[in-house]
Amino acid sequence: MSGERFIENDFPIEEIDLIALREGNSKRPVYRMHKWWARRLGSVFRMLLVTLLSDADAHKREIVRRFWSDWRPEARPVVLDPFMGGGTTLFEALRLGARVVGSDINPVAWFLTKKEIEPVDTQALRDAFSRLEHRVGAEIKNLYRTTCPEGHPAEIMYAFWVKQIPCDGCGQTFDLWPNHWVARWPDRRTVVCPTCGAFFDIPPHAEKATCPVCHTEFDPAHGNSGRGFAVCPNCGKRHRLLDVVQRIGGPLPVRLFGIEGYCPTCDRRFLKPADEGDLERVRQAEAEWNRMKQDALYPRQEIPVDGRSDPRPVNHGYTHFSDLFLPRQLLALSTLLRGILEEEDVNLQEHLLLAFSDALDANNIFCKYEIDYHKISLLFGLHAYHPIERPTENNVWGTKSGRGTFSASFAKVLRGKEYALRPYERGKYKGERIGTVHPGVGRLAPDARRFIEGKGDVFVRCGDSSDLKDLPDGSVDYVVTDPPYFDNVMYSELADFFYVWLRLALKGRYPWFLPEHSRREEELVQNEREGKGIEYFSKTLASIWKEARRVLKDDGALTFTFHHNSPEAWAAMAKSLMDAGFVVISAPFVRSEGKSGFHSSRGNIRYDAILVCQKGNPVFPSAGEWNRSVPEVIGRAREWLERTASLDLPMNPGDILTALMGEALVFLLSPRLRAGPPVGVLSALSSLSEEAPRIGREVELRVPQQLAMFAEAEPDYASDSRDPEEN
């Protein structure tokens, strides 16, 4: 390819934004195999790559056809992602025939990306699951036996626990009830009595409940705890939860109070208070765990506190990673991990290990029961460790239905690999699929030398991307990535949760799993507690851009997505590119997030600027040049915003700021002869950001009628309409 690229002049947002919205509700199966934070959408990155690999003279209709078809460029480019994270760039580039290099400093990101793009025989993988079930399945399932209300043998789906406080006012121990709901349906509500623990139903709009057993009257919507405080129902003393944690020297104790189960005989789910048989099984599991834990496979590391950006969960008394699990969970998980490591085929073993690691997200004591959806929530539905008053224990192996079990996680891995081998695109309309031929998997080269020699389609490395010493100068055609967004996500603090378990299996196989934790000194984050402010972030990012520049061919391009609601962050990004020797030649504005999820609320940024850069010698303009350019910058940003508004898609001030800042960087980072002292970039961007409210009023931001077609997530990509993660 020679000359300008299509992405330098346009980007078909009219085609991709609605597809991106749909994918935001239900991502490609390959990206659902394991949790990674702030994943970009596969459809957006596929279109990004298509427009990057297409000449500027291609017609927009041809670009759209290439997106939906099996088009590949004549030459096989080499694409590098120095922040590969969840592997989106690598997977989408492989589908377009590229050879790919991925790099990430976090071992968890390296492992899950490797398994996403590594080929596997799916029938052999099914057989490996069957062998694992034969080895340990019955042993684990036996831990979650119960009886249904009719007296039949049944299986626990979810076990309901409640935290307790030993009151230092009256000496009594009491439960923490933020409310008394157990589950809610349109026609009824199931509640738990705070006095005797009975479960019973009330009408949907009842404001009071009277227990039919002990006749206690209570408000089901309001309990005795919330916002970090709890009131003793016996003496009325108010307790601050963190003070109680310090007083007792550990996390608050918990007790089992209820069960949701599945009865094969009745073929239905049921709710009930925990009975003596349920309590006895918990005691037996605890005794068995205490007997075997000395030799068991489970993480023994302390949770790091030095430089930690979020004091949770340590300030709630959880000092070790094993504290984040109940004894029965540790017993089941340790047994499962032992069974996985008995699988002799390394590739099959690692795919099972990926499912195991993913299941951890729903098998810990920071999960709660979603009373309106009748399923468990995931720990990392929020990008934080969030202690709760009423933890829910999952069935680790799984039953006929249930979210986040190992069986469900394995089903996700299997679906992800089947999709990777035979990928397709979702059409504009519900249920429409447009198949493609080229898979998103490739042969892994064992090292960079053999990749450069052409012996492999993929090279993935775990290490600092500011030192790509294994790649020669000018060996890469394109750098395509999604860098960390300053202080948005503390990756290692979160990834440690998975790392400490994966390390048990992988530390003897891969050297980057030898350290006790996943945090590395070179990790690119903005964390004031570690002395890593915005200047550190910009300087470190510049060192990575410089290394990308070294391995990039002279006619290549650095392209990445970015958004932030702070002009300071955009100024730091501009400085990092300036210091690395990149000019910005275009900044398309595209949907980045779907409407669903904790982190896609109305106030959050849902659009990215795609910054397309090439090697050059940027010079910041003078103040006069900048002032004269502001109307043009605003005009170009308005074009993107008006095109987006014409789709009836919602935008907020952060989205408008992203469009403005992207176009500002196109002007600020251009080669020029400057007439006068350089403008202060931060002051220029801050001044421009003040225009965002006015532009928001002027651009017609209509109530999105088309959102009705996306009101509920579809059954996803599964050939079976039942999504194992959403039961």
- Rg of the chain's alpha carbons, rounded to an integer? 27
Q: Is 720 exposed, middle or buried (0-12, 13-18, 19+ CB in 10 A)?
A: exposed
In this structure, what CATH number is given to the domain that contains residue 591? 3.40.50.150
pLDDT score recorded for residue 705? 41
With residues binned 3-state (H G I as helix, E B as strand, rest as coil), the percentages for the chain, rounded to 5, are: 40, 20, 40
* Residue 195, in any domain of the structure: no
CA angle 138, 327, 306 (to 5 degrees): 130
CA atoms within 13 A on the CB side of 703: 1
Instruction: Determine the pLDDT at residue 718.
Output: 32
CA torsion sign, 430 to 87 to 89 to 92? negative
C-alpha to C-alpha distance for 498 and 324, rounded to whole angstroms: 12
Q: Are residues 155 and 39 in the same domain?
A: no
Q: In whole angstroms, how far apart are CA 642 and each of 563, 662, 670, 697, 699?
A: 18, 15, 25, 12, 6
Amino acid at 719: S
Q: Are 441 and 481 members of one domain?
A: yes
pLDDT of residue 432: 74
Q: What is the pLDDT of residue 675?
A: 66
Q: Indicate whether 308 and 392 sit together in one domain.
A: yes
Tokens 């940024």 identify what position? 605
Residue 333 resides in a domain? no
- Look-up of token digits 């302390």: 302
Residue 136 falls in which region: left (phi positive, over 0), alpha (psi -120 to 50) or beta: alpha
In 53-205, alpha helices (H): 60-68, 88-95, 107-117, 122-132, 138-141
Q: Are 252 and 245 in contact (CB under 8 A)?
A: yes
| 496, part of any domain | no
288 located within any domain: yes
Tell me if 43 is assigned to some domain.
yes
Say yes or no: 481 and 615 in one domain. Answer: yes
113 and 151 in a single domain? The answer is: no
Instruction: Tell whether 107 and 151 lie within a shared domain.
Output: no
Tell me, yes or no, whether 173 and 299 share the same domain: yes
Alpha-carbon distances of 46 from 115, 133, 457, 480, rounded to whole Å = 20, 37, 18, 11
Burial class of residue 438 (count of CB atoms within 10 Å of its CB; 0-12, 13-18, 19+): middle
Q: Is residue 154 included in any domain, yes or no?
A: yes
Q: Which two tokens stand for residue 639?
A: 């074009």
CA proximity to 366, closest of 240, 252, 257:
252
Same domain as 440, residue 310: no
DSSP 721: S
Question: Any idea which residue has 């999504």 for tokens?
Answer: 723
Q: Residue 316 is encoded by which pair of tokens?
A: 């709630």
167 and 259 co-located in one domain: yes
How many CB atoms are located within 10 Å of the residue 587 CB?
26
- Peptide bond connecting 313 to the previous residue in cis, omega within 30 degrees of 0: yes
Range of the domain at 44: 6-118+436-490+525-710
Tokens of 624: 């006069």
CB atoms within 10 A of CB 275: 12
Number of domains, the chain = 2
Q: Does any domain span residue 611?
A: yes
How many CB atoms lie under 10 A from the CB of residue 214? 12
Q: Which two tokens stand for residue 39?
A: 């994943």
Residues contacting 57, CB < 8 A, separation 6+: none
Tell me the one-letter amino acid at 30. Answer: V
DSSP string, 691-725: THHHHHHHS-----GGGGGGSS--STT-SSSS-TT
Low-confidence ranges of the chain (pLDDT < 70): 1-2, 428-431, 486-489, 520-532, 593-603, 673-675, 700-727
The single-letter DSSP state of residue 5 is: B
Three-class SS state of 176? coil
Task: Give pLDDT, residue 723.
Answer: 35
Regarding beta strands 153-166 and 424-426, do their DSSP bridges make them parallel or antiparallel, or are they unpaired? unpaired
Residues 258 and 383 in one domain: yes
| Burial class (CB within 10 angstroms; exposed 0-12, middle 13-18, buried 19+) of 623 | middle
In this structure, the answer to whether residues 49 and 173 fall within a common structural domain is no
Residues 467 and 474: their CA atoms lie apart, in Å, by 15
Task: Tell me whether residue 36 is in a domain.
Answer: yes
Contact 401, 727 (CB under 8 A): yes
170 plus 89 within the same structural domain: no
pLDDT of residue 21: 87
- For tokens 């694992």, the residue is 132
Q: How far apart are CA 226 and CA 232, in angstroms?
A: 13
Are residues 586 and 535 in contact, defined by beta-carbon separation less than 8 angstroms? no
Give the pLDDT confidence score for residue 533 in this predicted structure.
Answer: 74
User: What Cα–Cα distance (Å) separates residue 1 from each residue in 91, 473, 555?
Assistant: 22, 20, 9
Concatenate the DSSP letters of all residues of 304-338 into one string. P-TT-SS-TTGGGT--BGGGGS-HHHHHHHHHHHH
Which of 400, 422, 447 is a domain's end point? 400
CA distance 160 to 515: 35
- Determine contact, residues 223/158, Cβ cutoff 8 Å: no
**Per-residue pLDDT at 521:** 62
Closest CA to 169 of 266, 247, 103: 247
